[in-house]
A and B are shown apart, each in its own frame.
Chain A
Amino acid sequence: MTDPSHFVEIRHAQKSFGALEVLKDISLTVERGQIVGIIGSSGSGKSTLLRAINDLDPLTGGEVWLDGVQVNQKLSHRKYEKHINQMRQQVGMVFQHFNLFPHMTARENVTMAPLMLKGISKEEANTLAKEQLDKVGMLERIDYYPSQLSGGQKQRVAIARALAMKPKLMLFDEATSALDPELVEEVNLVMRKLAEEHMTMIIVTHEMDFAASVCDRVLFMDQGVVVEEGPPDVLFRNPTQPRTREFLRKHLEGAK
């Protein structure tokens, strides 16, 4: 196979849990600076696909490439560990349930990985924490523990934590799904800001309005396949596939 010319390239991704096939031969490319949304109902495989990109859920078949390097290389255990840790440093991930480290302050959450992995000094870490927390509007809570923060604030700190590693790519796994409705916007705002800075992002979301306004391209997934993909105004306004129409109709009803 030729080297990939795309920034992110997923080739024939296949994933089974026992007899259950959750990803069926999915191929996908993302260019540098692009923002791709993935929508679909629960169990459609969208989170699994996202988590395959940094090999958190390893694929059973297929390849994932990032910036010319294959992520899911077949290596000996030791070599693979070294390789994947290297790759993951370049990919930020934001989870539905934040997964902040509860025994660390916002500052410590943001600086732990850079301090351990990038060999930066305490002062540099301090500057980094302020810079990243300021970016997500959480500077004044720098010494708060996660338990002292609201859901939206936690998620903003989690984004700052991911950004502190200066990733090339950001993955968002339903970043606002666990939030109270009134807290969603503050997280969306941060994500929009990243979009303006041309951060490459892959966003799994249930929020059609947000996906429509921020993404360059949206994929609709169902039962382990990409049913339809296209620019948001086409996919949301004039979907060609019946399954997409059905999903969007149900979603619209649910939102009412």
Chain B
Amino acid sequence: MLRKLNQNELADADNKRMQSKRFWMVITYIVTVMLLCTLFLVSVNIGSLKVSFSELFSGLFVAYDSNVATIYDLRFPRIIISMLAGAAVAVSGVLFQAVLKNPLADPGIIGISSGAGLAAVCVTALAPSLYFFTPVVACVGGVIAFLLVYILSWKGGLSPLRIILTGIAVDALFTGLSSVVNSMSGGDRTGVASIVEGNITQKTWADVRTLLPYVFVGMLLALLSVRKCNLLALEDKTARSLGVNVNQTRIGISVIAVILASISTAVVGAISFLGLIVPHIGRLLVGSDHKKLIPFSALAGAVIFLLADTIGRTIARPYEVAAPVVMSVIGGPFFLVLLKRKHKEV
């Protein structure tokens, strides 16, 4: 009788804990959305031109205002691109971590982004007439990089550490090659240099239009693979016993992750650590269920990358620090902390 009572109390405690978790998750989502909106408005107003919120609103929706029009043409594309690319790379990170069963996987660190970057750079430098196909070519580059990392680190299984080490080597190779192509093309073709250096200053609405459909499709596919990602978190044999073709599922989700990482690389350059940091924060705040983790990572990725870009724009005015550079400076130490924690667990 006493034992039964304790059991009930424990079940009640479980219930309460679940409820408070759900409550905090909702709060986390609301706060993240609010952060994104605030950051958007702050970012719109940073620079030599300043407009109040009401001026911005009326300039956009009511009557023409030359200041607002300039901001709309120059700052809006950049802000929207930052948000789209940040969301894409963060979700790509979640997917890679699910597929590789490796909490340290990140499209930047394991060389996917630099593979896509090299492909994009080659198109821009060697065959500028194919400019329109840059995103597709970047995706092919990303797939090649992923296959290289996967095959080279396969040794009867995938050890997390070996993937990272192989990835770093592949990343270094592709980054180096990109620099070579950049230098050989005289380094003055802004298109090439902007991909290599991760420069998003010159972005226009045309770039938004290039990025948007791919990110939209990639995100949609990512949201549709939520259940599959959760199944991959089980042991392979167990997932298989539930009727899941584990290899096919892995390939499918990898393709989505590569597309998301490659397309953002084609437009803003390789971003490191973002795809690593965001999912980790997400797991702490909303848990490891991909149904919650993927949408949250998209939001938080947008926030963090927009924040990096905004910091980059303000910290050394009138000069600018590229957002991916800011990302590396923040992300590097974060990665080291994670690596240390991971070692403690093992």
A and B pair up: no
Name A residues whose Cβ lies closer than 8 Å to a Cβ of B: none
Name B residues whose Cβ lies closer than 8 Å to a Cβ of A: none
